């Protein structure tokens, strides 16, 4: 019952301690005197009377103590005492304290840093007002592992009519545009957005206005809103920018607004233009190109809304089987939509890993605490004798371990800060801007709160077992010297052994996980070595539709560019291709294709492949081997019969047991107006992304027979490709001065940027694995050193009875290695299960990797053996005479 | 056995202190003596329990205290009942009566 008066009284006695002490003294003394007076009246001497009162009523000192500790404020007082005493105890064992603080700092630092990352990815990747009410509605094709696809316009407009759980629907589509007319041409990540999108999310522009609904009409959609960064960089933060005109893809647009700093939804938007569609387009169901978001009505729950959308999708699937067969609607909360499945998985994996490291650190600290307790059993026995309750002793010891973890956390916060800086500074900006929440990674108040919670949890975890065991100390037993051989010290020994075993198992699991990921990463790098990516330069360009409407214009452009680049000094050869592997942010886009004479057996059964439009030297440049037939040639020109080369995986999947050479295929459905192409060759597969475990069927067509708008230029150079950038720019500008070149980077950077996520995970796992290894061996070392000093007497007896140095060495080594072996045997099956889970997730992870499953356990055992050997050597060098005299 | 002062039934000390103070304000020793007298020396009040109880009652707002001179012109802390304390005493007395009657009925049932 903590009433206001109670609190005030308590505070008064806390802060005016002296006065309230004095009052209590006076009151109790009065009590004693009055009681004694009574006795004196009955004829006792003053001294006897005082004695008699004490006997009858209890000692004054005890009374004072009882009264003092009765109020709630006494809790703080004893805490203060505990802390002071705890600090003294920690200072007394400096080395042990230091080891504990370092171990905890590593564990807590890793956890705090990882929490900050996870918070950004999983909790608030979308920092706007209504984020919690936004639901993404995406299509998926479960049979083909398409788990997120945009939806068709007609579907979107149906939802706006039919769905009741949402008060608004908004849509957007990605549209990379060329910004020209003022200064150098620039490629800008733009999004076409429905007029209500900004309002729906709850964001306002910093300047100007958002789009009006009538601007969704074709013809009235020539407005643009600039992102803050674009406004800053290209227009030097011009405050008069509103109302000015810019040229986007050759057309004139009016700037109507500038968004606030940091707003870049949908990632990685730099500018926004209205989403407009003519009637025909808005009624299409076969072309899925809109990303749709819905805002839940206030009070509507996600699950009810999802159920409603599923039933609408069901109705649509029945009404439009041609276009909706095989597609499944997937509603998901915005945070989940923005942070991809793999990011989520890896974040959880790393959270588990840092948790493991912290557990190992806690086990180490607990072990040190056990050792320290056993040296203090006399202290506890005396305290118990003087009336300390068990709870009081447990509290004292827990205070000490919480103090330890608080000290660890202080250092840990510094480590976390440093960690985050490392994480942030090593991410290429080209990748970071695609990662939802990346900008919000920092040590915020939530991270501090999390650290505080960790401190308490760690303190309790590492302190509870030692303190419970120590407080169980039986007076008689601990008064016997050292309590050696008692049941208590046996229990302690078992517990300490178990902690070391747990540390070893956890470390092994982490190490194996790290080993698999590092090997996977190396594998990813090696797979591409065949085409020497470090001497390839890549860049993208997109021909604007206005000037290059005619295929012949596009063909002329490409011919000229290739001719000029091939003639450029320092260029060994120049080729073009639609997408190089690993570009396009991970997964390559696939398109429907058809095979002549073999219509799809079922409705909605699509054949898909990557379509690459290439120059004939692309195969040589990428070292793609010919398996059958012939490669594309210079003679496959615009007038020649259309031909194509396919990848082995396409032949395997779509021509099983048949000879594909000579067969006819075309891009698009059977009825599309694209020409039939004759398959003239089969080539080896190229690895396209680290996500896909299987090779993706690919069709290569000659660029002369279908001149592309969008293309990637590839240059093979004898040495550093970066030196070529400005001569190449000049050459292309001399063909078309208005054309922006973008994504100019060496091929090896394209690859590393696409696998930077997995590189991060692998690097972090490797570091965590190393820390775990170190902490686990410190645990073994600590236990063995302690047990050697505890058993010094026994060792002395053994030696004086004739045991040799090597016997003693072997004895200590054996007990340490037994624990290590148990730890390994427990850890291995768990590590194996983990490996299987990882191998289903990732390309190139072998669940039965010998390095990880034999090499790493051996490494761990070797280091543990070293950790046992040092104390064992000390044991073997003990002087038996001294150890016996010590008794 | 009957001669030896016995411990109080758990939780009744507070009630007895309130009852004592209902008659007149009193200091700690006076309270102890008064309870012992009224109980005809069945109860013996331990100083520790007494002062803890006084602190508790005071913090609960049932009693308050002031320093005054005793009849022997000694300074002592006198405790007096607050209005809240008086109410509490009444309700506890009623409740106690109910419980004692119930227990007696149980013990005397044959």
Per-residue pLDDT in tens (0 to 9) along chain B, 110 residues: 334 555 566 568 888 899 999 888 988 888 988 888 888 888 888 888 888 888 888 888 889 888 888 877 788 889 999 999 999 999 989 988 898 899 899 998 86
Answering whether pTM is above 0.80, one says no
Burial call A594-616: b when 16+ CB within 10 Å, e when fewer: bbeeeeeeeeeebbebbbbbbbb
pLDDT at A842: 64
* CB contact at 8 A, A469 and A373: yes
A56 touches chain B (CB under 8 A): yes
Query: Reduced to 3 states, what is the DSSP secondary structure of residue A221?
Result: coil
CA dihedral (A590, A591, A595, A598) positive or negative: positive
Mean pLDDT of chain A: 85
Question: Which SS3 state, helix, strand or coil, does residue A677 take?
Answer: strand
Q: Give me the pLDDT at residue A362, please.
A: 93
| Shortest CA gap B19–chain A (Å) | 20
Three-point CA angle A425, A427, A429, nearest 5°: 100
pLDDT band at A473 (very low <50, low <70, confident <90, very high): low
Chain A contacts of B28, Cβ < 8 Å? 27, 30-31
Is the Cβ pair B29, A31 closer than 8 Å?
A: yes
A223-226 and A251-259 as β-strands: parallel, antiparallel, unpaired? Answer: parallel
* pLDDT score recorded for residue A480: 56
Query: With 70 as the cut, is the pLDDT of residue A7 above it?
Result: yes
Q: pLDDT higher for A698 or A36?
A: A698
Write out chain A residues lying below 8 Å of B58, CB-based. Answer: 9
Domain positions in chain B are: 13-108
**Left (φ > 0), alpha (ψ -120 to 50) or beta: where does A604 sit?**
left
Structure-model confidence comparison of residues A248 and A176, the more confident one: A248
A9–B44 C-beta distance less than 8 A:
no
| Alpha-carbon span B16 to A563, nearest angstrom | 110
B-chain residues within 8 Å CB-CB of A71? 55, 59
pLDDT tens for each residue of A413-451:
999 999 899 888 888 877 777 777 787 788 888 899 999
Say if residue A483's pLDDT is above 50.
no
Tens of pLDDT, residue by residue over A175-212, are 878 887 666 778 888 899 999 999 998 888 999 999 99
Predicted local confidence at residue B1, as pLDDT? 36
Using a pLDDT cut of 70, give the percent of chain A over it: 94
Tokens 């008689």 correspond to what residue?
Answer: A476
| Cβ–Cβ under 8 Å, residues A228 and A262 | yes
The pLDDT value recorded for residue A474 is 57
Helices then strands, each counted (H, E), chain A: 31, 22
Three-state DSSP state, B7: coil
Report the gap between the CA of B107 and the closest CA in chain A (Å): 33
What residues pair up with A171 in beta bridges, in sequence order? Answer: A292
Cβ within 8 Å, pair A6-B59: yes
Disruptive mutation site among B4, B41, B47, B61 for chain A (greatest number of A CBs within 10 Å) = B47
The distance of B84 to chain A (nearest Cα, Å) reads 13
CA distances from A479 to A380, A395, A485 (A): 10, 22, 13
pLDDT tens digit string along A214-229? 888 888 888 999 998 8
Do residue A66 and residue B56 have CB atoms under 8 angstroms apart?
A: no
Q: Beta-carbon neighbour count of residue A72 at 10 Å?
A: 14
Domain ranges of chain A: 4-71, 131-338, 341-525+756-886, 544-738
For residue A176, list its beta bridge partners. A189
CATH topology of domain B13-108: Arc Repressor Mutant, subunit A (1.10.10)
Cβ contacts of B13 on chain A, cutoff 8 Å:
none
Please, where are the H alpha helices in A260-329? 279-282, 302-319, 321-324
DSSP A573-587: EEEEES--TT-TTSS
Are A140 and A327 spatial neighbours (Cβ–Cβ below 8 Å)? yes
Q: Which residues of A touch B48 (CB under 8 A)?
A: 58, 62-63, 66-67
Q: What is the mean pLDDT of residues A271-294?
A: 89
Cβ of A63 and B27 within 8 Å?
Answer: no
Q: Is the pLDDT of residue A326 over 60?
A: yes
Pick from A317-331, A380-394, A477-491, A594-608: least confident:
A477-491
Of A142-146, A231-235, A841-845, which gets the smallest average pLDDT?
A841-845
Q: Which residues of B touch A21 (CB under 8 A)?
A: none
Q: State how far the Cα of A594 lies from the Cα of A800, in Å rounded to an integer.
A: 89
- For residue A8, the chain B residue with the least C-alpha distance is B59
């Amino acid at each position: 019952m903590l009433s206001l008066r109670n609190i005030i009284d308590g505070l008064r006695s806390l802060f005016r301690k002296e006065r309230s002490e004095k009052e209590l003294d006076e009151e109790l003394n009065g009590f004693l005197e009055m009681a004694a007076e009574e006795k004196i009246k009955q004829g006792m001497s003053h001294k006897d009377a005082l004695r008699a009162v004490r006997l009858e009523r209890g000692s004054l000192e005890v009374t004072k103590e009882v009264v003092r500790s009765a109020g709630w404020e006494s809790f703080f007082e004893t805490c203060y005492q505990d802390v002071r005493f705890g600090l003294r105890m920690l200072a007394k064992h400096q080395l042990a304290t230091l080891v504990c603080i370092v171990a905890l700092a590593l564990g807590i630092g890793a956890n705090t840093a990882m929490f900050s990352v996870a918070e950004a990815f999983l909790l608030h990747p979308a920092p706007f007002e209504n984020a919690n009410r936004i639901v993404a509605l995406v299509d998926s094709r479960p049979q083909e592992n398409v788990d997120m696809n945009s939806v068709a316009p007609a579907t979107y407009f149906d939802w706006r009519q039919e769905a009741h759980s949402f008060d608004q629907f908004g849509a957007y589509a990605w549209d990379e545009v060329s910004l020209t007319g003022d200064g150098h041409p620039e490629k800008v990540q733009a999004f076409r957005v429905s007029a209500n999108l900004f309002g729906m999310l709850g964001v306002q522009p910093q300047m100007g206005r958002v789009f009006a609904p009538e601007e969704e009409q074709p013809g009235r959609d020539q407005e643009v809103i600039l992102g803050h960064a674009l406004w800053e960089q290209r227009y030097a933060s011009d405050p008069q920018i509103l109302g000015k005109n810019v040229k986007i893809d050759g057309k004139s647009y009016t700037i109507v607004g500038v968004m606030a700093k940091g707003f870049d939804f949908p990632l990685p938007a730099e500018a926004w233009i209205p989403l407009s569609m003519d009637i025909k387009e808005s009624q299409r169901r076969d072309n899925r190109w809109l990303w749709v978001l819905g805002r839940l009505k206030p009070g509507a729950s996600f699950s009810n809304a999802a159920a409603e959308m599923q039933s609408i999708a069901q109705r649509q699937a029945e009404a439009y089987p041609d276009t909706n067969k095989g597609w499944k609607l997937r509603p998901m909360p915005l945070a989940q939509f923005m942070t991809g499945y793999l990011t989520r998985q890896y974040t959880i994996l790393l959270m588990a890993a840092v948790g493991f490291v912290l557990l190992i650190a806690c086990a180490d600290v607990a072990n040190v605490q056990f050792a320290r307790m056993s040296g203090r059993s006399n202290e506890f026995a005396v305290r118990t004798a003087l009336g300390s309750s068990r709870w009081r002793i447990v509290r004292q010891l827990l205070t000490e371990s919480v103090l330890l973890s608080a000290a660890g956390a202080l250092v840990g916060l510094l480590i976390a800060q440093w960690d985050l800086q490392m994480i942030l500074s090593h991410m290429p900006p080209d990748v970071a801007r695609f990662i939802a929440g990346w900008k919000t990674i920092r040590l915020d108040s939530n991270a501090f709160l999390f650290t505080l919670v960790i401190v308490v949890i760690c303190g309790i975890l590492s302190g509870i077992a030692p303190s419970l065991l120590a407080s169980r100390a039986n007076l008689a037993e601990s008064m016997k010297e050292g309590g050696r051989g008692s049941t208590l010290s046996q229990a302690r020994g078992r517990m300490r052994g178990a902690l070391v075993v747990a540390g070893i198992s956890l470390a092994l699991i982490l190490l194996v996980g790290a080993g698999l990921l590092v090997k996977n990463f190396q594998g990813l790098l090696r797979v591409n070595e065949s085409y020497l990516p470090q001497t390839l330069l890549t860049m993208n360009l997109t021909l604007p539709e206005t000037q290059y409407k005619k295929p012949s214009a596009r063909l002329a452009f490409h011919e000229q560019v290739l001719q000029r680049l091939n003639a450029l000094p320092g260029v060994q050869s120049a080729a073009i291709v639609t997408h190089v592997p690993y570009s396009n942010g991970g997964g390559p886009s696939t398109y429907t294709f058809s095979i002549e004479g073999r219509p799809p057996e079922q409705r909605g059964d699509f054949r898909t492949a990557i379509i690459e439009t290439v120059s004939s030297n692309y195969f040589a440049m990428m070292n793609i081997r010919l398996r059958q037939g012939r490669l594309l040639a210079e003679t496959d020109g615009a007038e020649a019969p259309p031909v194509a080369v396919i990848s082995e995986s396409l032949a395997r999947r779509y021509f099983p047991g048949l000879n594909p050479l000579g067969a006819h295929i075309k891009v698009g459905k059977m009825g599309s107006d694209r020409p039939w192409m004759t398959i003239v060759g089969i080539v080896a597969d190229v690895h396209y992304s680290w996500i896909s475990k299987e090779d993706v069927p690919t069709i290569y067509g000659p660029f002369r027979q279908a001149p592309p708008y969008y293309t990637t230029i590839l240059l093979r150079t004898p040495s550093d490709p970066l030196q070529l950038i400005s001569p190449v720019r000049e050459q292309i500008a001399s063909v078309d001065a208005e054309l922006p070149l973008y994504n100019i980077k060496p091929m090896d950077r394209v690859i590393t940027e696409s696998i930077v996520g997995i590189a991060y995970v692998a690097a972090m796992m490797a570091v965590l694995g190393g820390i775990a290894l170190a902490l686990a061996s410190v645990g073994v070392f600590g236990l063995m050193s302690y047990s050697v000093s505890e058993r010094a007497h026994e060792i002395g007896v053994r030696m004086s009875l004739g045991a040799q140095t090597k016997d003693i060495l072997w004895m200590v080594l054996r007990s340490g290695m037994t624990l290590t072996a148990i730890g390994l045997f427990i850890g291995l099956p768990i590590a194996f299960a983990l490996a299987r889970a990882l191998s289903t997730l990732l390309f190139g992870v072998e669940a039965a990797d010998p390095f990880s499953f034999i090499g790493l356990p051996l490494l761990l055992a070797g280091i543990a053996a070293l950790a046992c050997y040092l104390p064992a050597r000390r044991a073997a060098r003990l002087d038996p005479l001294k150890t016996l005299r010590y008794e | 056995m009957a001669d030896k002062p016995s411990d109080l039934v758990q939780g009744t000390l507070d009630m007895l202190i309130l009852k004592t103070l209902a008659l007149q304000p009193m200091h700690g020793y006076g309270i102890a003596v008064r309870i012992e007298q009224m109980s005809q020396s069945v109860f013996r009040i331990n100083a520790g329990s007494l002062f803890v109880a006084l602190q508790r009652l005071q913090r609960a707002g049932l009693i308050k205290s002031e320093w005054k001179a005793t009849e022997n012109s000694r300074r002592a802390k006198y405790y007096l009942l607050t209005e809240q304390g008086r109410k509490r005493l009444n309700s506890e007395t009623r409740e106690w009566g109910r419980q004692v009657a119930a227990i007696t009925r149980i013990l005397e049932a044959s």
